[in-house]
């Protein structure tokens, strides 16, 4: 049993294609099962706090667990799940007035928040079309595109280089967020700033959808570099490869609105 829990934790920690919503759901499920089995989750809380601190919602949950008596942790996790199921409906309710018949939306990366909101949009606006940037270097945008297509949305996968053409044909862009700083800056997957700048150039709204638990008191965002080989593995030693960071900052003046719960 212990090896099974460890294997699942290792898989969560190694997952660089899922957004914070999917990751936190997997974490909650794992910790609940350990607590129900009568096992300690102290080590998991410590490791998750250290390894996934780039995600505000995960960081917040781990801090709450640290400060919660052991006997009350299962209740806390159950409460978290209940609140999570309502978040997307509230965000969509706030966004819905901005939608028109047959909306055309551009997005990127792989976000549970965006997927859940797109499901709700599709119910009310079945003619919705969505352009999903593939989101290099991991291409997790392709995963989200496949999910949206399976739901029934008219989905088109594009490259980052194709964003200008498709932003110009969109009604607006909609992204999720991994963290929102106290100065209003939004942290999200690399490519988000480019999308925001293109929206500004073409006069299109750039919207962010985020759980309120992604708002932090932090003013700076520090992230860890990932292997540059994900970008390119050069055979020519004269070629330099840029540092590979998964996230970037979007300045508040580029953001038309943030929809939250």
Same domain, 240 and 132: yes
Whether residues 38 and 122 share a domain: the answer is no
Q: What is the pLDDT of residue 1?
A: 60
pLDDT digit string, tens, across residues 43-95: 999 999 999 999 999 999 999 999 999 999 999 999 999 888 799 999 999 99
Q: What is the CATH number of the domain that holds 202?
A: 3.40.50.10470
pLDDT digits (tens, 9 = 90+) for 119-161: 999 999 999 999 999 999 999 999 999 999 999 999 999 999 9
Dist CA 240 CA 42 (whole Å):
42
Which of 68, 86, 104 corresponds to the end of one domain? 86
Same domain, 45 and 156: no
206 pLDDT above the threshold of 90: yes
The whole domain housing 147 covers: 90-259
Entry pTM: 0.93
Q: What is the DSSP string of 7-31?
A: HHHHHHHH--SS-HHHHHHHHHHHH
Span 197-214, mean pLDDT?
97
Residues 210 and 177 sit within 8 Å (Cβ to Cβ): yes
Domain boundary among 58, 86, 114: 86
On the question of pLDDT at 3 being above 80, the answer is: no
| 128 and 182 belong to one structural domain | yes
pLDDT at position 2, please?
Answer: 64
**Does one domain contain both 52 and 164?**
no
Q: Same structural domain for residues 40 and 124? A: no
Main-chain phi, psi angles of 95, to 5 degrees: -80, -30
């Amino acid at each position: 049993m212990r090896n099974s829990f460890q294997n699942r934790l290792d898989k969560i920690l190694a997952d660089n294609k899922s957004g914070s919503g999917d990751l936190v759901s997997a974490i909650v499920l794992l910790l609940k099962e350990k607590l129900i089995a009568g096992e300690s989750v102290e080590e998991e809380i410590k490791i998750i706090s250290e390894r996934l601190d780039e995600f505000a919602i995960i960081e917040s949950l781990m801090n709450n667990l640290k400060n919660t008596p052991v006997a009350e942790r299962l209740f806390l996790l159950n409460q978290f799940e209940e609140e999570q199921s309502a978040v997307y409906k509230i965000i969509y309710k706030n966004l819905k007035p901005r939608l028109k018949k047959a909306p055309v939306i551009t997005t990127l990366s792989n976000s549970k928040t965006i997927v859940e909101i797109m499901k709700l949009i599709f119910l009310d606006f079945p003619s919705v079309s969505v352009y999903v940037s593939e989101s290099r270097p991991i291409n997790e945008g392709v995963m989200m595109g496949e999910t949206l297509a399976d739901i029934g949305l008219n989905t088109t996968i594009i490259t980052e280089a194709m964003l200008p053409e498709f932003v110009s044909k969109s009604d607006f862009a909609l992204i999720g967020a991994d963290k929102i700083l106290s100065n209003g800056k939004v942290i999200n997957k690399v490519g988000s700033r480019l999308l925001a700048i293109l929206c500004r150039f073409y006069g299109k709204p750039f919207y962010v959808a985020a759980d309120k638990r992604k708002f932090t008191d932090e003013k700076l965002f520090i992230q860890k570099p990932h292997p540059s080989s994900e970008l390119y593995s050069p055979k020519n030693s004269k070629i330099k490869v840029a540092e590979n960071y998964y996230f970037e900052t979007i300045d508040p003046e580029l953001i038309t609105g943030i929809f939250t719960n």
